[in-house]
């Protein structure tokens, strides 16, 4: 590439590569964008792929999952609290961010909020001088992980929960979290509203209308103002949606698109819609898969021998990241304030399994061809899917919603996984595809699947073959594939 062009690209960013080359070479223009498309924040979020959830509060010390709200702050007394041990372990496990339950439904705050006495400042931990949100966010910065916050809308401690005074309180707390702990990558708004609680001593049932009570648009505005890089998660988005279950799987198909007005937090019967998204959805609101490494979200010593195995975590990875969703894996610290040895062991063995499975990309540097490509221009040739550049892609002509890429390894290779990525900056397109392997008797179909999106990983029965073919059999518009890897 000539030097002025190179200089331009290093300023403009590689994202402009295809448009620039198409323009200056008077070449075939790139495919039209299929709306909706991800924002820059969402693109950065997709690239995080897997990260940690941390549930930690007085529940850790009472054994509960949902504190009633009357737990004394004196219960919160971790004996060897070490946020760096958590974050260092997470980094070693290949997790790229942490979302901390700064306040769960019981209302106890892990930071010394100036708006309540129900917090870490009235606990024995560091004689009331501690701030767990600070410790975790600092550790994240030290180890290069992103940091996000969970602030439960349902608060079973606060006397005025149910009144407008609580909404002011909630927003003040949100301002504290978003304003004082550095960059926030995701704000997690939970949808649970169970009803009964302590509520400042009232000890009663309180029902709110969760479609109106929280006045979400005005709370979201605070996030936009104080954390412009953050994505907002809730059951109903707007930036990231719940995957509809806490079992560890996104749907197949899994569309990153959905129409937000078909959803609202807490609405029953939409789990399936959340799990699959909607092909014609009007908003880019991709799925996040939240699941715990143990049966509970909080630590309970009786679950020490029920930590998920590395193999089970690997399956969850394939069913979340491998289906174009992000994985939010909960790892709850114990009463010492440490990740338990069993959890650490499982996490590191899971990482080893991923590393060994995806160690050598058999498609790197081999030959990729296609039966057709856009305007017969090299800009859109199949070789782009194996060049290691996420900003180049294979695409077909506009009218063509089918097409095939052939990858020739040059010699027989044993393979078990095929990884495919769409160039989602131009929208999610592929509706169905299959994978074939070359045998002495010709092409044999070994897998059929639906959507691709940001990333799709297909496990096939291990097979020895010199060539594979990925056949896009249906798409919303001409397919645009940026990456293929084979393991
Ligand atoms: C749910 C909560 O009720 C659980 O306690 C947990 O925090 C989970 C991640 O979200 O809605």
3-state SS assignment for residue 144: coil
Token output for 14 = 């590689």
- Are 381 and 394 within 8 A, CB to CB? yes
The pTM of this model reads 0.94
Q: Is 209 a residue whose pLDDT tops 50?
A: yes
Q: How far apart (Å, rounded) are the C-alpha atoms in residues 350 and 412?
A: 29
For residue range 376-385, list pLDDT tens digits in order: 999 999 999 9
Whether the per-residue pLDDT at 264 is higher than 80: the answer is no
> In terms of DSSP H, where are the helices of 330-399?
341-357
Does residue 26 carry a pLDDT above 70? Answer: no
Best of 156, 244, 288, 297 to mutate for ligand 1, by most ligand atoms within 8 A of CB? Answer: 297
7 pLDDT above the threshold of 70: no
Ligand 1 pocket member 233 (CB < 6 A): no
pLDDT for the residue numbered 265: 57
Backbone torsion region of residue 437, taken as left when φ is above 0, otherwise alpha when ψ lies between -120 and 50, otherwise beta: beta
Cα distances from 348 to residues 80, 91, 296, 341, in angstroms, run 22, 10, 20, 11
Output b/e per residue, 406-421; b: 16+ Cβ within 10 A: bbebeeebebebbbbb
**Cα dihedral 308→309→315→316 (10° resolution):** 20
Q: Encode pLDDT of 126-183 as tens digits.
A: 999 999 999 999 999 999 999 999 999 999 999 999 999 999 999 999 999 999 999 9
pLDDT tens, position by position, 144-155: 999 999 999 999
Q: Which residue's CA lies nearest to atom 2 of ligand 1? A: 192
Q: Which of 169, 205, 194, 248 is nearest to 66 (CA)?
A: 194
**Average pLDDT, whole number, for the chain?**
94
Residue nearest to atom 6 of ligand 1 (CA): 297
> Which domains, ranges and CATH numbers included, belong to the chain?
40-357 (3.20.20.80), 367-486 (2.60.120.260)
CA of 240 to the centre of ligand 1 (A): 16
Binding site membership of 348 for ligand 1 (Cβ less than 6 Å): no
Nearest in space to 372 (alpha carbons), one of 401, 406, 396? 396
Q: What's the pLDDT score for residue 6?
A: 41
Cis check: omega of the bond before 36, within 30 degrees of 0:
yes
Is it the case that residue 20 has pLDDT exceeding 70? no
For every residue of 268-329, DSSP letters joined together read: TT-HHHHHH--TT-SEE--EEEEEESSSSSS--GGGGGGPPPHHHHHHHHHHHGGGT-EEEE
Q: Using a 6 Å cutoff on CB, does residue 290 contact ligand 1? A: yes
Residue 228's Cβ-count burial label (10 Å; 0-12, 13-18, 19+) is: exposed
CA of 31 from ligand 1 middle (Å) equals 41
Ligand 1 centre and the CA of 233: distance in Å?
13
* pLDDT of 128: 98
Q: How many CB atoms lie within 10 A of CB 3?
A: 7
Q: Which one of 66, 68, 190, 210 would you pick to mutate in the ligand 1 pocket, going by the greatest count of ligand atoms within 8 A of its CB?
A: 190
DSSP secondary structure letters along 236-251: T-SSEEE-S-SSS---
Is ligand 1 within 6 A of the CB of residue 297? yes
């Amino acid at each position: 590439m000539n030097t002025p062009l190179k200089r331009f690209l290093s300023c403009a960013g590689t994202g402009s590569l295809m448009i620039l080359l198409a323009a200056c070479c008077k070449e075939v223009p790139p495919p039209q964008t299929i709306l909706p498309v991800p924002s820059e924040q969402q693109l950065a979020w997709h690239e995080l792929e897997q990260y940690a959830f941390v549930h930690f509060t007085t529940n850790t010390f009472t054994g509960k999952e949902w504190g009633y709200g009357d737990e004394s702050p004196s219960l919160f007394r971790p004996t060897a609290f070490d946020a760096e041990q958590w974050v260092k372990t997470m980094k070693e496990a290949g997790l790229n961010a942490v979302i901390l339950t700064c306040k769960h439904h019981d209302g106890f705050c892990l930071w010394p909020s100036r708006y309540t006495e129900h917090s870490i400042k009235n606990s024995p931990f560091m004689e009331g001088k501690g701030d767990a949100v600070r410790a975790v966010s600092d550790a994240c910065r030290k180890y290069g992980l992103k940091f996000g916050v969970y602030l439960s809308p349902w608060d079973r401690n606060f006397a005025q929960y149910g009144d407008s005074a609580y909404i002011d309180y909630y927003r003040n707390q949100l301002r504290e979290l978003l304003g004082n702990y550095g960059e926030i990558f995701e704000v997690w708004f939970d949808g649970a509203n169970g009803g009964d609680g302590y509520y400042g001593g009232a000890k009663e049932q309180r029902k709110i209308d969760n479609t109106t009570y929280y006045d979400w648009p005005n709370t979201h505005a605070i996030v936009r103002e104080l954390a412009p890089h953050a994505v907002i998660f809730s059951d109903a988005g707007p930036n990231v949606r719940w995957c509809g279950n806490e079992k560890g799987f996104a749907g197949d198909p899994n569309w990153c698109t959905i129409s937000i007005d078909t959803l609202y937090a807490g609405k029953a019967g939409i789990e399936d819609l959340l799990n699959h998204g909607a092909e014609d959805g009007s908003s880019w609101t991709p799925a996040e898969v939240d699941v715990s490494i143990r049966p509970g979200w909080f630590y309970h010593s009786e679950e020490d021998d029920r930590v998920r195995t590395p193999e089970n975590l690997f399956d969850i990875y394939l069913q979340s990241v491998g289906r174009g969703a992000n994985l939010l894996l909960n790892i709850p610290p114990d009463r010492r304030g440490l990740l338990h040895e069993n959890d650490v062991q499982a996490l590191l063995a899971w990482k080893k399994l991923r590393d060994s499975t995806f160690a050598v990309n058999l498609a790197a540097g081999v030959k990729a061809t296609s039966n057709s490509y856009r305007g017969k221009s090299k800009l859109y040739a199949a070789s782009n899917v194996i060049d290691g550049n996420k900003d180049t892609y294979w695409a077909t002509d506009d009218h063509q919603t089918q097409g095939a890429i052939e990858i020739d390894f040059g010699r027989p290779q044993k393979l078990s996984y095929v990884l495919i990525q769409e160039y989602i900056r131009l929208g999610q397109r592929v509706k169905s595809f299959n994978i074939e392997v070359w045998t002495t008797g010709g092409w044999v179909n070994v897998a059929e699947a639906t959507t691709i999106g940001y990333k799709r990983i297909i496990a096939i029965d291990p097979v020895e073959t010199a060539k594979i073919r990925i056949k896009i059999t249906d798409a919303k518009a001409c397919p645009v594939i940026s990456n293929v890897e084979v393991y």
